[in-house]
Copies of this chain bind each other. A is one copy, B any other.
Amino acid sequence: MEAGFPVWAKDELARKMAETGADGCPVRDVLSQVSGKWSTLLMMALSGGALRFAELKRVTPDISQRMLTKTLRDLQRDGFITRTVFPSKPPKVVYELTDTGRSFLVPFSALVQWSLDYHEIIRASRRDFDEDSDLGEEDA
């Protein structure tokens, strides 16, 4: 247990995570945003300031129309971003992070940084694992 890493109040967090009540546990509920393929990427894109629909699409080249719309609506619904319509012609819609959204990016950015730091280690671990499992295979 004394592997150089501090012991947080994790026992309690672990219990909280396991609380799978009738309507789902709070943690999974919120973290489902993280799991979405585009939610976090769009929020990161908005971290530099407000952007309109087409701009978000441009800075996120491989997202589909459908998913862009849907993800933005979900983020708005959860209060991570605001959606402001300027009824011009053609219309102009601007998306912007809320305080909640910005606040989310603080712990999330730490996780992104972690994944950058450990990416190589993890890739190496995978290679080792896959090689070892190959050793036992005598295919036809």
Contacts and interface: CB of A to CB of B under 8 A. Distances in A.
Nearest to A5: B102
Interface in A88-132: 99-100, 102-116, 118-119, 121-122, 124-126, 129-130
A102 B18 contact: no
B30 A122 contact: yes
Stoichiometry, copies per complex: 2
Interface residues of A, number: 64
B41 A17 contact: yes
Given A76-B129, A110-B111, 17 more contacts: A8-B106, A10-B109, A14-B45, A16-B112, A17-B44, A20-B62, A30-B115, A31-B34, A31-B111, A31-B112, A34-B35, A77-B129, A78-B125, A78-B126, A103-B118, A107-B107, A107-B114
